[in-house]
Structure 1
Amino acid sequence: MPYGYMGKLLRVDLTQKKTCVEDLDSAVARKYIGGSGLAAKYLYEETDGSTDPLGPDNLLVFMTGPFTGTVVPNSGRHAVAAKSPLTGIWAEGDAGGTWGVMLKRAGFDGILIRGKATEPVYLWVHEQGVEIRPAEHLWGKDTFEVADLIKAETHPKAVVSSIGQAGENLVRIAVIMSDGREGRTAGRGGLGAVMGSKNLKAVAVYGTKRPMAAKEEDLKTFTKEMVTAIRDRTQGMSRFGTAGGLQAMEELGDLPIRNWCQGSWPEGAAKIGGQRMAESILTRNYHCGACVIGCGRVVKLGRGEYAGVEQGGPEYETLASLGALCLVDDLEAVALANEYCNRSGLDTISTGSAIAFAMECWEHGLITAKDTDGLKLEWGSAEAMLTLVQAIARREGLGRLLADGVRAAAQALGPRAEEYAIHVKGLEFPAHDPRAYNSVAVGYATSNRGACHLQGFTHMFEKSVTMPELGYDEIQDRFGVEGKGELTAKCQDLMCLMDALKMCKFSLSGGVKVTHMIKWLNYVTGWDVSLQEFLKTGERIFNLKRLYNVRCGISRKDDILPPRILTHKRGSGGAADNLPPLGKMLSEYYTWRGWSEEGIPTHAKLRELGLEEYIS
């Protein structure tokens, strides 16, 4: 068994009702490390452009990394990947919590699932074996209920990943939830719908094994030093969570408001931000496995059907999407919507985007009362927002239209509606405005899963993070143009590495640098990875994901942003007059990547990265 890994992958064929175990090749592990890096290899080799995302041939991959289950801080994470039913291209989700840790304790680095069960089932993965169990009694129940019931049937310390009603109903913005009421999410791209299409309700894991580290004492000593530094730098994140940054984002001109049409909203931001949450509904914070920051929120509402019940609280993206994007300034209403999303298994980002899209369509008469059973979709209406969240999960009423995402909804409503559908490649925008950071424009346009701030994370390098190993000793100018293609490419490769290692990106706010990651990797695995090899691995992973998308028809024509972002200024606030010059930055990006002018990795680049086997 290689250090840092369990050395085993579990294969599941739901059609044949069979499971088997295969060894994880150590050379493959070093080439792709783990997480979504390893997942990319298997998806590229076992699916293609013709694969139906909701068909039995789509491969659903759960994967951990070498840091998962070790003492490395902020490493309790796992990846989920598949071909997306929302976008038709590469999809990945990265979840915190303890599910990934427990999968390794059960003896596996990952699970690869294909086929479709004839009836609802769940997987029970433990040290003594693997069972495909009936789940008819779980179908129709929410993710919290499912976690409780499965733990009662298996082991009280089992950790459960499951879908809710949204995944069952093949809602294309459905997610996979884990860790019960703490609400950890493998979101974006409709991964919950992929799971639902396989009649797979849940995957429960439990074990007591632990991955071995090659240099255990060195690992512990170095980790102890780093933990103190990380905690010192992230006290604000621990106290207020990501929600604590909402008011600052509004001041910077970063917070999306009124479906990306409004520049400022200071009073509303103050009502739903992390400071207000800490003063009102917050009961405690939550730490994922091995986390030393604790950005997770646990809240208790004073009204509504879940009043008095502790539940996972909304983080920044949720508050922005279900709050600011819809002009809803009622914190408890947004927290309740978050609870609905967690229970039914909905992506809060895409859900908020879909509702804001519907509100703008209502404003312009493209959706009327006859489409909503009389519900008024007015800006700021908490009632409308909460009603639509549930309608989307159930595919009822207007929810049937919104359940397939804003791109499909706009196509159904006609050309006028497409102006209001804010997405890239079918994936709705997260809550950071490219008009506030020019590099984010390049990042959204070229992210392998569609619009995504986490696959580039460049806004942090234009706000608070430095990285000397990448050539960035100072904070970058967020409105600058030169060098933004290079910055984006370097950051995307680094994010691929963090997703492969399974290290939370908030570690960067704690002062973690590339050299620290390499030191941890070598202590855990016993390898002698150099800076050059490490960075080249990140580039390899990103290019393989891009190659997957090229096979799905993606090229420069798709690396675009909505006209609203490129031509309409925010008009007020900290980014009032900026419009990102995407074309110029994109050309620089392709040059830096070594791709063709059409955005295709060249044969020379693939050979350089050791991907010559994928040259067609």
Structure 2
Amino acid sequence: MDFGRILEVDLSAGKISEREVKEEVAKKFFGGSGLAAKILYDEADLSLDPFDRKNPLIFMAGLLTGCGIPGTVKLSVCSKSPLTGVWGESTVGGHWPPEFRFTGYSGIIITGKADAPVYLWITESGAEIRSAEEIWGLDTFQADERLKGQTDEKARVAAIGPAGEKLARIASIVFDGRNARNAGRCGVGAVMGSKNLKAIVVRGKKVPEVADKEGLKAALKEDVPVIMKYAEAFGKFGTAGGVEVVEHLGDLPIKNWQLGSWTEGAKKVAGQAMQPKYLEKHYHCLGCPIGCGKIYKVEELGLHGHAPEYETIAGFGPMCLNEDPLPLIEANELCNRFGLDTISTSSCIAFAMEAHEKGLLSKEDIGFELKWGDGKAAVAIIHQIAKQEKAGKLLAHGVLRAAKELGPKATEFAIHTKGLEYAFHDPRAHVSMACNYATAPRGGDHLAALSYLLDRGIPLSDLGYTTPPDPHTSDGKAKITYDMQNFIGVFNPLGLCVFYYMGGRIGPKLIAKWINLVTGWDLNMDEVMKASERIFNLKRMYNARLGLSRKDDVLPSRLANLARPDGTAAGVLPDMNKMLSEYYELRGWGERGIPTEEKMKELGLEAEARLCK
């Protein structure tokens, strides 16, 4: 197999070089966030400010990205996060990642800062740094159209919007223009903006080599129909179809995580309510038969782009008590155009609504009343955040910084861990998620484990999970967190979409088979899981070098100490001390949550451990 080449781009010097990916390194860390973690851990100066020109920004395709297996379309963007100051990563799918892999490259390490705005143009022939001065200031949809005109109409574009240009710490990178696949979390768009890098445009035709083409073809002929038997229903509405189910389970965040039920509101903003009115077409990432994405067209507002996913609906719907789907759809498109993470942005707006209600943010601060349920006011605040005007100056940098500015009372309702706003699954409804949120490398990250899926009855028989556990007890949840983090942690380094577990119910045995057919290796399920554990521990050590330990593995006070008042999950609170102690023992970490020397030796990370002392 060809593991691809990595571009090294120094924007300060205007120079581009290349390095090879060695097979022994790929076998230990795969690609994606795994290989990026290895590079950042070994080579980056962790003391640097995230906006320092020397701080690397890495785009890394997964090991299997573009190889022809459905769902292998993912790429990770990694750096020291300007939002949290610790490990930062964000993963994106769509068409850009495989198109990038078709250029023959598998990664880009970007350092330096251009004197004036630039973009990268990458093909099979190499890479060029080109002027983006005429494109700077455009939104991501406009930049996509303009850059295709300057390069190739079939090219794929990853661009920041005005939010990233102005270094909003909740800025995203938007891929594929109006189709709006986002590397949203951890402020990676702001790191890109700090380097005066507007976009990366790719066009390639070189499909990665596969060790056993005929074997892979035969395997997929057998595997894909089984996947689709489970995933067909998921494809109909995508993640937006789960809003009412999540509300019924007591998992939906309501009024900045204060309430327990929102039954009628959930019905109004669910995909089942919006899709019949606004669906233009279903959207498929490259080669994916599921098609969980949706393109909406809303004539009355002049909106046309990717529909809001579950997280966006939860954020601009129940988090803000907004039952009107139109401003919700508009908020989604504005975030995509400006280049803003919808999870962090909606969390900041719900935080601001509560701060306004409690007299900590005045009408003069905002420019208008910001009341619960006012979707139009939420839309107006997004403009402020993107332009960093009025209250937007405060909110553009996340709830942790905003709360510090507003004072101690505001910290009580700033919902984050390690500075990253929570994704919208309640750890009081699925207690295993409390252990995950506390320990995930980037902070309030549901995708580090997805353990709530076991509670919903999605089995993982390869690991012995065949019946749903009790979601409301802390017993056994450290083990579930440990197992699910090690399993889900396989997906991003491989470039494989997690929806193939959530929708298609694949497990590590099947994944190991696919890896071997593509690479020619002979890994078993346990070795695949061990690679994921190695990567997870490397990210933990990255954070440990920045001073993080058990003291940082915490839930926000509201979620740790205040139970939901009603609904299915009423009265439930996680036992964090119990779960963390059990979890650290399973991980082979000391009482402070730092990996032990014995654990590092077991994982083949002896050299990396020396840097952690």
Q: What range describes the TM-score normalised by the shorter chain of this pair?
A: over 0.9
In the alignment, structure 1 residue 198 sits paired with structure 2 residue 191? no
Deviations, residues 466-499 of structure 1 (Å, cap 9, x unaligned): 2222232322221132221111111111122111
Q: Tell me what 1:229 maps to.
A: 226
Shift of 1:6: 4.2
Correspondence 1:226-305 to 2 at 5 A = 226-304=223-301
Which of 464, 476, 479 is equivalent to 2:472?
A: 479
Matched, 1:62 2:55: no
Is 1:345 aligned to 2:339, yes or no? yes
Answer whether contact 2:509 2:524 (CA < 8 A) is retained.
no
Q: Secondary structure at the match of 1:474?
A: coil
In the alignment, is residue 518 of structure 1 matched against residue 512 of structure 2?
yes
Partner SS state of residue 390, structure 2: coil
Q: Are residue 573 (structure 1) and residue 563 (structure 2) matched?
A: no
CA distance in 2, matches of 1:180, 1:46: 33
Q: Over residues 106-141 of structure 1, what are the superposed CA-to-partner deviations in whole Å (9 max), with x where a residue is unaligned?
A: 110111111111110000001122110000001000
Q: CA deviation at 1:66?
A: 2.5
1:217 partner SS: helix
Q: CA deviation at 1:226?
A: 1.7
Instruction: Find out whether 1:541 has 2:535 as its counterpart.
Output: yes
Residues 519-567 of structure 1: CA deviation (Å, up to 9, x unaligned): 0000000000122211110100000000000111110000000111111
Q: How far 1:222 moved relative to its partner?
A: 1.0
Residue 77 of structure 1 is matched in structure 2 by 74
- Which position in structure 2 is the counterpart of 1:120? 117
Q: Secondary structure at the match of 2:157?
A: strand
Separation (CA, whole Å) in 2 of partners of 1:266 and 1:615 = 50
For 1:431-442, what aligned pairs fall within 5 Å after superposition?
A: 431-442=424-435
Superposed CA offset, 1:228-276 (max 9, x none): 1222212222111101000110110000000000111111111100100
Q: What CA distance in whole angstroms lies between the structure 1 residues aligned with 2:213 and 2:473?
A: 44
Contact 2:73 2:93 in 1 (8 A): yes
Distance 1:92 1:613 in 2: 23
Task: State the TM-score, normalized to the length of structure 1.
Answer: 0.98
Name the TM-score, length of structure 2 as normaliser.
0.98
CA drift at 1:277: 1.4
Which residue, out of 114, 137, 141, partners 1:140? 137
Q: What SS does the aligned partner of 1:475 have?
A: coil
Aligned match for 1:413, one of 398, 406, 411: 406
Structure 2 residue 528 is the aligned partner of structure 1 residue 500:
no
One-letter identity of the residue aligned with 2:159: S
The gaps in structure 2 that reach 5 residues or longer are none
Partner deviation per Cα, 1:192-234 (whole Å, 9 max, x = no partner): 0000000000000111101111111110111122211222212
Contact (CA 8 Å) 1:39, 1:63: kept in 2 or not? yes
Answer yes or no: is 1:209 the counterpart of 2:223: no
Q: In the aligned structure 1, how far is the partner of 2:287 from the partner of 2:32? A: 17
Match for 2:342: what amino acid?
T
- Aligned letter for 1:347? D
> What is the rounded CA distance, in whole Å, between the counterparts of 1:279 and 1:157 in structure 2?
31
Amino acid at match of 2:28: K
TM-superposed deviation, 1:332: 1.4
Matches within 5 A, 1:455-474: 455-474=448-467
Query: Deviations along 1:66-118, whole A, 9 cap, x unmatched?
Result: 22112211111111100000000001111011111111111101111111111
Kept in 2, the 8 Å contact 1:281–1:301? The answer is yes
Classify the secondary structure of the residue corresponding to 2:447. Answer: coil
Which one of the candidate residues 545, 563, 579 is aligned to 1:585? 579
SS in 2 for 1:234: helix
Shift of 1:310: 2.7
Size of the alignment, in residue pairs? 609
- Asked if the contact 2:460/2:505 (under 8 Å) is kept, the reply is no
2:500 counterpart letter in structure 1: S
Q: Could you tell me how far apart the structure 2 residues matched to 1:157 and 1:188 are?
A: 27
Aligned partners of 1:6, 1:45: CA distance in 2, in Å?
20
Deviation of 1:614 (Å): 1.3
Q: Is the 8 A contact 2:269 2:324 kept in 1?
A: yes
Q: How does 1:163-202 map to 2 (within 5 A)?
A: 163-202=160-199
1:383: Cα distance to partner? 1.7
Counterpart position of 1:399: 392
Q: Give the alignment partner of residue 23 of structure 2, picking from 23, 26, 30.
A: 26
